[in-house]
Structure 1
Amino acid sequence: MPLDARLTFLGAARQVTGSCYLLQWNGKNVLLDCGMVQGGDQVTDLQKFRFQFRPKDIDAVVLSHAHIDHSGLLTLLVARGFQGKIFCSEGTAGLLPILLKDAFQLYSKDLEWQNKQRARQGKPAQEPLMSLKDVIAVTECLEPLPYQQDIDVLEGLTLRLHDAGHILGSAIVELWIKGHKAMRHLVFSGDLGNPATVLMHDPAQIDSADVVLMESTYGDRDHQCLDNTLEEFAAALDAAYKGGGNVFIPAFALGRSQEILYYLGLLYHQGRLQQRMVVLDSPMAIEITQIYDKLIKEFDHKDTQLFARYGAKDLKSFLPILHLTKDVEESMALNRINQGAIIIAGSGMCNGGRILHHFKHNLWNNVNHLIFVGFQAKGTLGRRLIDGETRVKILGQPIVVRAAIHTIGGFSAHAGQSQLLAWAQHIGGQPQFYLVHGEPQAQDALAAKMREIGIKTEIAQMAQQILL
């Protein structure tokens, strides 16, 4: 009797954000990721959002990593009735409470602001969909696992996590689904790291599989080499210094902020950083950087050995001109600095956070420079800026865009096309691949390349259900 197992694509299908896949077999239901779609108005989007299943029917969640586009709906899942376990890596278990608490606080502030607007219009207030108790409940559901250790998630489902090399705790998910006389081997890549990325190890190789869900964020191109990327970054910083303005870098608090601090520290010790102040303007990024510093021995030795060469023991001491701004008042005071500062703030796609306040005060001034160092999803403010919009609305105010804008793709923590192909080719057993977590142009290009070299490849569609 064949194994009656099926998988439904509920997110990150023909788009980059909102990773979520429903695995069903023998009356059991397991989610792979439970991510939020980023780029819109969070409060409005959550009010309209409906799970395509009953949360209380989900027996367990397997989480690839802590980024909000993979984990951000876990709080709502719990608020709507989920009571199972959430299996993840040890690194993810340490980071997730920080990210979910921050996401909830942003949601609460946005809801409060919208309710004030509704009150002025004579409309009733919107009730919150979740609470801080739900955030805490998510953390109580976590089941941290080390890499390379098998565990039975449920009867008939064995899980093994591998280092994906994307961010701290990121995992490739390997599952064995067992029936009475059959077994299927499913692999979910999560987000595969770029081997050139500092601090992270290279993504683990998988030897065999029957079905593979593989990310495709950069499926249509390779990143330029790191040396060229660093030169481009240094040139943009130099141009900003000579122009007499400040530099603003939108960066995700987890992963990208720490990598940028590393590169700035490298330029500082090489005598190539003319700015005398670097500011990490994100309470969450500060907290995560402190976790990185505590776990520095877990990272790639070839990168961390530079710390000792320059008499540093962690990221904070590697960049002596680094300032940390936890308080709102300190953040606001940064907008009184006219020149010579590099300010790193979230959110990475400019759809919220302190970076919006800096844009409001600085985007209109042509002496300032804005440097994008990560992927900008379609619909986000960041994407609109790199696509050349000259007038944008920020915090309800129209702003003209005069600041110089730089896009530097080589810092990406995602694998490029050649690296994705090499990872896929290593997997034996002639598996069926489904491309997820990518925009159509990237997926179409990658699928064509994979088919050319004999890899069975389909592009996952939203709500598509496949038999395993």
Structure 2
Amino acid sequence: MPMDPTIHFHGAAGAVTGSCQLIETADARILVDCGLFQGSKTEKELNYRRFPFEPTDIDAVILTHAHIDHSGLLPKLSSMGYGGPIFATPATIDLCSVMLPDAAHIQESEVEHLNRRNQRRGKRAVTPIYTAADAARAITLFRQVPLGRWHKAAEGIRFRFWDAGHLLGSASVEMEVETATSPRRLLFSGDIGPRHKLLQFDADGPRDLDYVICESTYGAVDRDDVTDEDRRRQLRDEVLAADHPNGALIVPSFAVERTQELLTDLIVLMRSGAIKTSPILIDSPLATRASEVFERHASELENGRLLSEAMRAKNVRFTETVEQSKAIDFIKGFHIVIAASGMCEAGRIRHRLKNWLWREEGTVLLVGYQAAGTLGRILQDGATVVRIQGDDITVRARIRKLDIYSGHADGRELAEWVRARQPIKRDVFLVHGEVAGLDGLQERLAKFLPEETLIQPHLDSGFVLGPEGASAIAQALLPPRIDPVRTGRRDWHNDFQSFVLDLRDQLDRATDDKARRATLRKMRRAFEASDEDEHRRPDP
């Protein structure tokens, strides 16, 4: 007799990255997403640990979309023995075929750089989370499932995709799980896109569900409704303000979707005369290949024709090689650079920031969500000095934020999406959000759903999805991989970097060497006093 299914939240619980939910029955184990953790070093360290489940026990993976925080650990999963199907929409598979190898290349390159530094410091070498070969192996496991068609995932579990309006190929997952009575109906939102998105149609979904697992990234945010004209007008103002004869507008951007949207709007503005025609450099091999995927799927996109025209504009240049990327630093006159990654955590954007953050004639325009602990978030929060690849960089460039290109629905839109899924007979799990987003969306949903049916799971928590509602599984995972209060927040690594930068600033502002030595003596005395306090503490 089929038992009640259980769900375990092995990522994007109390934080916005690492999406991974495990559905388990007596006959099957299914993953919905298997994403890379981003954010603070504490969270990113989880990428190197073993999975909290046995990969060879998984029967199937259902992937909502290609973004790395949802797909980025699939190569690791396959390298540890998983050989089952990875179900995704055709466009998602095409995007993953370029995104996963790129993620592997970044990891291998950064580990190589780190190991050179570790060797000089006498530290042990580290290995990447996975390699390009692992990514290639994972891609062979993908299986196409179009929107709207029911498909068997494993014994007793079937699913179908609904358009999530977030990204090319993105989908929400409706799932039916057989039980002893009637099927349990679940809906995983994936990431829900906002209204008025340039390239995507509005999100859709089914009604009459038992359980909903809903993202809450911007659950506390109310954005102004913007038309295409409103969005381009705001972008125009930022470009005009950044336009300096010897300057550059540097845009950290997700290589997939955000880059294509920005490129399209910039070309529309230039052709209309709203801003002058300037060089636009797409400094990301991934963005180049992803743009080609978008063009192949242009017929599936809203405004796909505008994107195709923008990609062929004479002032647009896609850089592929390292040499082409380095040459950007020698461009004279105002230009626009769009480079990955969107949170400034890896890739070529770091080189562009090292070259421009210390210049007053530069502007950095943040156009997407910046997770806690990332360099993008640190810049957004007003840091005056940042550390990039071991170098301290003073921030003199203008730091600007433009939230109208977000790929995520805001709090009102998320609440409307959930309302449209009613009746919801049991519970709603709020995931993929930091504390403010989770609490904000819960407050909105409580206006039309019972408060007791709104659940915020923490990392690795588990629940039985019973006929009358969800019940928590006591100590679902022992020991917990990470204290739940440490997810979605700055960690001690961030505090340490801030301390080092503050100390350097204090020493730089000292009037002479005597004052600098006095500052260092104060620090030593503080450390010695801390050690004495530690020794005086009684044993527990």
Deviations 1:249-294 (A, max 9, x none): 0001111001101111221122112242111111110111111112
Report 1:397-408 matches (<5 A).
Answer: 397-408=391-402
The 3 A distance-change label for structure 1 pair 351 and 30 is: same
User: Aligned partner of 2:191: which letter?
Assistant: D
Please report how far the alpha carbon of residue 313 of structure 1 lies from its aligned counterpart in structure 2 after TM superposition: 4.8
**Match for residue 458 of structure 2 among 448, 458, 461:** 461
Q: Which residue of 2 aligns with 1:333?
A: 327
Cα deviation, residue 344, structure 1: 0.2
TM-score by length of 1: 0.94
CA contact (8 A) 1:190 1:214 kept: yes
Residue 252 of structure 1 corresponds to: 254
Q: Which residue of 2 aligns with 1:11?
A: 11
Decide whether the 8 Å contact of 1:30 with 1:61 is kept in 2: yes
SS of equivalent residue, structure 1 residue 446 = helix
Output the aligned Cα RMSD. 1.9
In 2 relative to 1, CA 5–352 (structure 1 residues): closer, same or farther, beyond 3 Å?
Answer: same
Instruction: State the partner residue of 2:301.
Output: 299
Unmatched 5+ stretches in structure 1: none
Q: Tell me how far 1:457 sits from its aligned partner.
A: 1.8
Task: Report the equivalent of 2:140.
Answer: 140
**Equivalent of 1:390, from 384, 390, 395?**
384
> AA paired with 2:264?
Y
The 5 A counterparts of 1:120-135 are: 120-135=120-135
Report the Cα offset of residue 410 of structure 1. 1.1
Q: Counterpart of 1:284?
A: 286
Change (3 A) 1:441 1:55: same
Whether contact under 8 Å (2:27, 2:155) holds in the other structure is no
1:167-203 superposed Cα distances (whole Å, 9 cap, x missing partner): 1110100100013433100100000011211011111
**Superposed counterparts of 1:78-97, under 5 Å:** 78-97=78-97
8 Å Cα contact 1:275-1:342 kept in structure 2: no
Which amino acid in structure 1 is aligned with residue 456 of structure 2? I
SS of 1:34's equivalent in the other structure is coil
Matched-pair contact (CA < 8 Å) for 1:8–1:466: yes
Q: Structure 1 CA distance, aligned partners of 2:78 and 2:108?
A: 17
Note if contact 1:241-1:275 (Cα within 8 Å) is conserved in structure 2: no
Identical pairs, percent? 35
Deviation at 1:454, TM superposition (A): 2.5
Distance 1:42 1:290 in 2: 35
Alignment deviations for residues 63-82 of structure 1 (CA, whole Å, 9 cap, x no partner): 10000000111111111111
After TM superposition, the structure 1 stretch with the greater mean CA deviation from structure 2, 164-173 or 2-11, is 2-11
Deviation of residue 418 (structure 1)? Answer: 1.4
Shift of 1:359: 0.7
Structure 2 SS opposite 1:205: coil
Of structures 1 and 2, the one scoring higher in RCO (CA 8 A, sep 6+) is 1
| 1:383 Cα deviation from its structure 2 partner | 0.4
Relative distance call for 1:44 and 1:161 in structure 2 (3 A) is closer
* Aligned mates of 1:277, 1:288 — CA distance in 2: 20
What CA deviation, in whole Å up to 9, does each residue of 1:107-146 have, x standing for no partner? 1011111221222233342344533222111111101111
> What corresponds to 2:355 in structure 1?
361
Residue 352 of structure 1: which of 346, 363, 371 is its match?
346
Structure number with larger C-alpha Rg: 2
Q: How far apart in 1 are the matches of 2:289 and 2:407?
A: 20
Conserved 8 A contact 2:251-2:367: yes
Match of 1:49 in 2: 49
* 2:443 aligned partner: 448
Kindly provide the amino acid, as one letter, of the partner of residue 356 in structure 2: N
List per-residue Cα deviations over 1:393-432 (Å, max 9, x = no partner).
1111000000001100111111111111111111123341
SS at match of 1:365: coil
Report the residue type matching 2:173 in the other structure: V
Map 1:157-168 → 2, pairs under 5 A = 157-168=157-168
Q: 2:402, 2:223 → 1: CA distance?
A: 10
From the superposition, tell whether residues 359 and 42 of structure 1 become closer, same or farther in structure 2 (CA, over 3 Å): farther
* Aligned counterparts of 2:128 and 2:247: Cα–Cα separation in 1: 41
Query: Amino acid of the residue matched to residue 341 of structure 1?
Result: H
Report SS of the residue matched to 1:11: coil
Alpha carbons 2:280, 2:336 under 8 Å: kept: yes
Relative distance call for 1:47 and 1:292 in structure 2 (3 A) is closer
Tell me the residue number matched to 1:205: 205
Q: Distance in 1 between matches of 2:176 and 2:199?
A: 31
Give the paired residue count.
460
- Check the 8 A contact 2:36/2:47 in 1, yes or no: no
Post-superposition Cα deviations, 1:221-269, rounded to whole Å, max 9, x if no partner, equal 1222334443222111101114641100000111100110111122112
Amino acid of the residue matched to residue 459 of structure 1?
A: Q
Match for residue 530 of structure 2? none
- For residue 218 of structure 2, what is the aligned residue in structure 1? 218
Q: 1-side partners of 2:315 and 2:402: how far apart? A: 23
Post-superposition offset of 1:27: 3.9
Per the normalisation by structure 2, the TM-score is: 0.82
2:104 corresponds to: 104
3-state SS in 1 of match to 2:217: coil
Deviations 1:366-416 (A, max 9, x none): 111111111111110000001000100111100000000110011111111
* Counterparts in 2 of 1:356 and 1:128: CA distance versus 1, 3 Å: closer
The one-letter code sitting in structure 2 at the alignment partner of 1:253 is A
> 1:332–1:406: structure 2 CA closer, same or farther, 3 Å change rule?
same
- Distance verdict in 2 for CA 1:79–1:411, change over 3 Å: same
Residue 40 (structure 1) shift: 4.4
2:410 partner amino acid: G
Mapped contact 1:166–1:194 kept (Cα < 8 A): yes
